[in-house]
Structure 1
Amino acid sequence: MHRTSMGPIVSASTALVATVAFACAGCTTNGPTPAAAPTAPALEPATASVPAQASGNPVSAADVQALWAPVAAAAAEGGYVAWGTVVDAQTGEVLLDADASVAHTTASTTKTLAAFSALTHLDPTVTLATSALLGGDNQTLYLDSEGDLLLGAGTSEDTDVSGRAGLQTLANDTAAALAQRGVTSVTLNWRGTLFDGASHLSSWDAQEVGSYEGHVGPMAIDAGRTFEGANDFYADAPGHVAQVFASALTSAGVSVSLGEAGEPPAGASPLASVSSAPMGEQLRWMLAHSDNTLADQYCRFAARAAGAPTTYEGATSTIESTLTSAGIPTDGLFLEDCSGLSSNDKISANTLVGVLKASYTGQGTGADTIRLLPWAGLVGTLSQRMNEAPAAGNVQAKTGSLQEVTSLSGSVRTRSGRLLLVSIGNDQVTDGAYATRGYLDAFEEGLAGLN
């Protein structure tokens, strides 16, 4: 959390976002489109977490296909589809092509596309400000935010990633600034919208996964959850933030009446501000914890920076155009969201591995994507998977999980140090995909064990 206390000092920065959710989520909110997010046309290429030169012993396609055989056999026996591809990162040789050109539902591995788009269009060093501003009448206080859904938190280093601590800090600093001005009573208004179109997809509710994602918008505590760890979100997260902020101000000695949602007037005087963690840190956190709301929030910011509508359609079309511009194949690509929560989303293994290849080679400004993925046995949704040698610390991947889908997309380092790019999954598992993900883990462990 970055804190800025302002008597008559100014607030702000501009850009990007935060949120929380797991993988497996209707409501419409329209409002003004805020100022354009800062773009990052000159991001330096990432220094990948792998060497640029070829290293380790080459891996044979026969060995990879032998490791894949149990995955394919289990799928045939279970009546579902196993898909995937493995590519030698150094040479580009395709070592496995299992239905790789066909688009499948890939669940949260979709977030690698979201991260690539965000890193292409947005500056990972930028933070988001949430500010309190006082109207010219000295009686109306405005709570404004650039899209921070964790209100100053959002990285793995934070002890409180909900944002409550940041909001409390903002309230304390605001109360102190009001006291300096002799103001003891205010009406609190707040920003209620940030993007165009729906803030939550109705198709998620139709698929009975609507409780796994909150609402995109200007601000939220814990991405809008009703309590820590909940798969239940406030329909009006900014309004809830305003209520909590008002309560904190009251405790600090300010008499507060709740007003209404709206934009602060021009010329409102900044009193205090808190800032989020940098965008790059929040994207790392999003990928590690498979945060659905954060993924869709960042996609809206990327769309705005790219000059597209700040709707779900604008966000997903920005992903597709970004991939195409980077030379990544998009055959069969169809997205309703950027989180992978909708089972209507379809992506091929070739598209997923294409993002990894572009990132590995430092192509474009989305090159940080591969570096931000969680590590097996160590981080986030992979912390309890593949947590023994040789895979632990040698598999870096984004997980995906829906009722009928399990997937992984990332990299594997072999015993000799060869880097492989791997996108794999099981789709249409009508008996439940959770029980089949062991086959995918065993495949990755087998790759890590190759000499």
Structure 2
Amino acid sequence: MHRTSMGPIVSASAALVAAVAFLSAGCAPSSVPTPTAAPTAATLEPASASVPTQASGNPVSETQLEQLWRPVAVGADKGDYTAWGVVVDAQTGDILLDEDAAIGHTPASTTKTLAAFSALKHLDPTATLTTSTLLSGDKRTLYLDSEGDLLLGAGESEETEVSGRAGLQTLADKTAAALTSRGITSVTLNWRGTLFEGDSHLPAWDVQEVGGYEGHVGPMAIDAGRTAPGAYAFHEDAPGYVAQVFAKALTSSGVVVKLGTDGKAPAGGETLASVSSATMGEQLRWMLAHSDNTLADQYCRLAASAAGQPTTYAGAVAMVKADLVEAGIPTRGMILEDCSGLSTNDKLSANTLVGVLKASYQAQGSEGDLIRLLPWADLVGTLADRMTDEPAAGNVQAKTGALQGVTTLSGSVRTQSGRVLLVVIGHDLVEGGALPTRWRLDRFEEGLAELD
């Protein structure tokens, strides 16, 4: 290990958010996201405590880090897998631990921090996505259109069991009332089928046999396109399925509906009704908390569109890299095929991941929201049932990552004296699966939280 400097960091560490019950999640079969409740405005706006420019809390030494890291390194040596990571003092920018931090490793779902970084740069976290119905000029054809809402109006208190269905029913009720008031009793329903360029589902995932852990990006979906609540099977034509559900809802409201075809609504249609999604900030919190692969790539494509870049997978990851370079974040060793981290071909260095954390701590406005949107140990999302004892509980905040042979963490830890550390650690190349090894990473984080 060696001590260098990444420059002073003026950080704002979020105080403990209200406890929200979520289930453990990750990126692939060993630890996949099981959604429970949609994000709320309250959980998006925790109180925060400003950290002064001068260092606060007791400094942490390289020697302390060496002692905490030694069991992680020994465990990796005995298990014949790779342990890597970096720890940075958030107040001073000093690198306290550097274990292959410049080398690209498989990041798994910690990649989603990059997706959120670009989304917060190019999108307004207070904005919403609108799903609407439009009536043709001849009043015979109804169009269902959306700006890209994969949870379809699921807002502050909606649960994913009805994520999209409740919002869609509201839209159907409003639309039926508008049609009835115009004396219209039957329509042909067309719907928007595409929103982005290129593939809606990355072919490489299917080759790697992980395609069942992410749905299709596009104009709209119920529960991110899942075939059932909590399922890891997805509709191949999520917008078409939405149209079917919407048609049934309209029919139950007394309108005779004939399903038409997918296509963009023509200009000049009359908007009958609309519903709005949860804010983009809330949806990003949902994505990070539950490690939702589909939403990660959806928001990368939405950000690419807002940035005027190609909305293909390649265009989205190129935008992410450009955003990192512009922010001065190192990208050596970076290979990305997606923004979710689902591809085993993805590679990121610990320096890139910690650079994103550092940039979030430094940023003003919405681009600084990334850190506080991450899961909290013992409280929120994929960390809800990890590191549940004090002082780690509520003092470790990190994005988790899990693939068959990979386990990772990327976030921040506050020591007992109040020192804030930025931490990126991981295992990869674990034969037989990495899940049994992640306790070593958790213990390292717990050790950091126990420092005085």
Normalised by the size of structure 2, how large is the TM-score?
Answer: 0.89
Q: Secondary structure at the match of 1:198?
A: coil
Q: Deviation string for 1:282-311 (max 9, x for gaps)?
A: 101110000100000000011112221000
Aligned-pair identity in percent equals: 70
Give the match for residue 267 of structure 2. 266
Q: Secondary structure at the match of 1:148?
A: coil
2:417·2:451 contact (CA, 8 Å) conserved in 1?
Answer: yes
Distance, in Å, in 2 between the alignment partners of 1:52 and 1:154 is 35
Give the match for residue 158 of structure 2. 158
Distance, in Å, in 2 between the alignment partners of 1:139 and 1:395 is 56
Distance, in Å, in 2 between the alignment partners of 1:162 and 1:434 is 30
2:414·2:449 contact (CA, 8 Å) conserved in 1?
Answer: yes
Give the match for residue 195 of structure 1. 196
Distance, in Å, in 1 between the alignment partners of 2:223 and 2:285 is 16
Distance, in Å, in 2 between the alignment partners of 1:90 and 1:253 is 63
2:219 is aligned with 1:215: no
Q: CA deviation at 1:335?
A: 0.3
RMSD: 1.5
Alignment of 1:310-349 (within 5 A): 310-349=311-350
Give the match for residue 418 of structure 1. 419
Give the match for residue 409 of structure 1. 410
Alignment of 1:43-192 (within 5 A): 51-53=51-53, 54-153=55-154, 157-160=157-160, 162-192=163-193
Change (3 A) 1:386 1:82: same
Give the match for residue 296 of structure 1. 297
Q: Deviation string for 1:204-260 (max 9, x for gaps)?
A: 011111000000000000111000010000000000000000000000000000000
**Gaps in structure 1 of 5+ consecutive residues:** 1-20, 26-45
Give the match for residue 360 of structure 2. 359
Change (3 A) 1:72 1:22: closer
Distance, in Å, in 1 between the alignment partners of 2:95 and 2:339 is 27
Q: CA deviation at 1:22?
A: 5.0
Change (3 A) 1:264 1:49: farther
Q: Deviation string for 1:133-169 (max 9, x for gaps)?
A: 11011110000000000001165x4334621100000
Q: CA deviation at 1:329?
A: 0.5
2:26·2:382 contact (CA, 8 Å) conserved in 1?
Answer: no
* 1:24 aligns with one of 22, 28, 34: 28
Q: Secondary structure at the match of 2:259?
A: strand
2:26·2:401 contact (CA, 8 Å) conserved in 1?
Answer: no
How many pairs does the alignment contain?
Answer: 410
Alignment of 1:423-442 (within 5 A): 423-442=424-443
Aligned amino acid, residue 58 of structure 1: P
Change (3 A) 1:424 1:49: farther
Aligned amino acid, residue 439 of structure 1: R
2:401 is aligned with 1:400: yes
1:197·1:311 contact (CA, 8 Å) conserved in 2?
Answer: yes
Distance, in Å, in 1 between the alignment partners of 2:224 and 2:355 is 30
Distance, in Å, in 2 between the alignment partners of 1:166 and 1:318 is 32
Q: Secondary structure at the match of 2:376?
A: coil
Q: Secondary structure at the match of 2:216?
A: coil
Give the match for residue 227 of structure 2. 226
Aligned amino acid, residue 346 of structure 1: K
Aligned amino acid, residue 73 of structure 1: V
Change (3 A) 1:114 1:52: farther
Distance, in Å, in 2 between the alignment partners of 1:144 and 1:365 is 28
Q: CA deviation at 1:52?
A: 3.9
1:132·1:141 contact (CA, 8 Å) conserved in 2?
Answer: yes
2:432 is aligned with 1:445: no
Q: Deviation string for 1:37-96 (max 9, x for gaps)?
A: xxxxxxxxx996652432110000110111000000000011110000000000001000
**Gaps in structure 2 of 5+ consecutive residues:** 1-24, 30-45
Aligned amino acid, residue 324 of structure 1: V
Q: Deviation string for 1:362-382 (max 9, x for gaps)?
A: 268522111111100000100
Aligned amino acid, residue 183 of structure 1: I
Distance, in Å, in 2 between the alignment partners of 1:363 and 1:166 is 33
Give the match for residue 34 of structure 1. none
Q: Deviation string for 1:309-351 (max 9, x for gaps)?
A: 0000000000000000001000010100000000100000000
Q: Secondary structure at the match of 2:352?
A: helix
Q: Secondary structure at the match of 1:82?
A: strand
Aligned amino acid, residue 139 of structure 2: N
1:154·1:285 contact (CA, 8 Å) conserved in 2?
Answer: no
Distance, in Å, in 2 between the alignment partners of 1:142 and 1:341 is 34
2:85·2:101 contact (CA, 8 Å) conserved in 1?
Answer: yes
Give the match for residue 6 of structure 2. none
Aligned amino acid, residue 320 of structure 1: K
2:149·2:219 contact (CA, 8 Å) conserved in 1?
Answer: yes
Q: CA deviation at 1:388?
A: 0.9
Distance, in Å, in 2 between the alignment partners of 1:52 and 1:188 is 58
Distance, in Å, in 1 between the alignment partners of 2:253 and 2:214 is 33
Distance, in Å, in 1 between the alignment partners of 2:51 and 2:170 is 43
Aligned amino acid, residue 227 of structure 1: A
Q: Secondary structure at the match of 1:366?
A: helix
Distance, in Å, in 1 between the alignment partners of 2:359 and 2:216 is 31
Aligned amino acid, residue 158 of structure 2: D
Aligned amino acid, residue 239 of structure 1: G
Q: Deviation string for 1:83-137 (max 9, x for gaps)?
A: 0000000000100000000000010000000000110111111100000111011
Change (3 A) 1:392 1:402: same
Q: CA deviation at 1:425?
A: 0.2
Normalised by the size of structure 1, how large is the TM-score?
Answer: 0.89
Distance, in Å, in 2 between the alignment partners of 1:329 and 1:422 is 16
Change (3 A) 1:272 1:22: farther
